Amino acid sequence: MIALENVSKSFDDGASFAVKDISLRIAEGETLVLLGSSGCGKTTTLKMINRLIEPTAGQIEVDNRNVMDVDPVELRRSIGYVFQGIGLFPHMRVADNVSIVLRLLGWPRRRRRRRANELLSLVDLDPNDYALRYPAELSGGQQQRVGVARALAADPAYLLMDEPFGALDALTRDTLQKELLQLKERLRKTIVFVTHDIVEAMVLADRIAVMHEGKVEQVGSQDEILNHPATPFVRDLFAKPAEQLSAFEEHRQ
């Protein structure tokens, strides 16, 4: 379980807050989507979970341990992270990228190689074809599959995903979302997923936390948020896709 309690983050000594007094609980095996527009504090919130950013106030627990009491390097190795910018290491082959955490954890080479092949198959990349390539030889979608495989390498119970599909085209994004849903079913990870895409949130989430200007506006299932928006902001936000859809329909004969 991941628990955030009254967490705040200020980058300018309290003059303004990127994240202001938020509390969230992410249950075992649950996928929580942090949804909000850019600058709302969702990525900051995510990064505080593995201490890429440290909170100004409040407390974050992962597995009932206060993250500030855990060595940050050890903490990060125990939590899978998929990055918005993908962030594969361009000088390492795909298999080495995928198994890098295992190398840091001191696994012997042969076991790493075997696990890398397993992981590549898991994200639907044929190891015989891809293991020895360099990231630059892959398409954006394939690169992010490798990114997901890398995050899963040490079989972490927790997965943090920071707009992982944001830079991909709509079709690739759709495919990867579906595959993530399947992976989720199979692997039962606890996932915190950051996105600004309402549809993506609807597809992937068990619960959605809508963020706005550093605060959580509402946390709930898709149904709760759609049918009982807690604030005008949430109502307006979720009215948007419907408006867009009707504009779309107008043009269809």
Partner 1 sequence: MNEQSLWAFLTARAPELWQKTLEHLVLTGVSTGLAVLIGLPLGIWITRNAVARRPVLGVVGIVQTIPSLAMLAFLLPFLGIGAKPAIVALTLYALLPIVRNTYTGLSEVAPDILEAAQGVGFTNRQQLLMVELPLAVPVIVAGVRTAAVIGVGIATLSAFIGAGGLGDFINRGLALNNTWLILLGAIPAALLALLVDAAIGLVERLLRRPQQTTPAT
The pair of structure tokens assigned to 195 is: 């996105």
Return the residue of 12, 13, 74, 185 that touches partner 1, per CB under 8 A.
Answer: 74
DSSP character at residue 100:
H
The least CB distance from residue 81 to partner 1, in Å, is 4
Dihedral through CA 132, CA 137, CA 138, CA 140, nearest 10? Answer: 140
Does 73 contact partner 1 by CB under 8 A?
yes
For partner 1, give the closer residue by CB, 146 or 201.
146
The Cβ-side half-sphere exposure at 41, using a 13 Å CA radius, reads: 23
Beta strand pairing call for 57-62 and 2-9: antiparallel
The residues in 30-59 that bind partner 1, with binding defined as CB under 8 A, are: 50, 52
Residue 206's alpha-carbon distances to 39, 81, 152, 164, 176, in angstroms, are: 23, 19, 20, 18, 17
Convert residues 163-182 into a mask of x (bound to partner 1 by CB under 8 A) and - (unbound): --------------------
Does 123 contact partner 1 by CB under 8 A?
no
Contact indicator for 205, 33 with CB cutoff of 8 Å: yes
The least CB distance from residue 104 to partner 1, in Å, is 6
The residues in 76-105 that bind partner 1, with binding defined as CB under 8 A, are: 76-77, 81, 83, 85-91, 100-101, 104
Q: Which stretch binds partner 1 (CB under 8 A): 1-9, 19-27, 137-145, 214-222?
A: 137-145
The Cα–Cα gap between 133 and 252 comes to 44
Does 250 contact partner 1 by CB under 8 A?
no
Residues that bind partner 1 (CB under 8 A): 50, 52, 73-77, 81, 83, 85-91, 100-101, 104, 134-137, 140, 143, 150-151
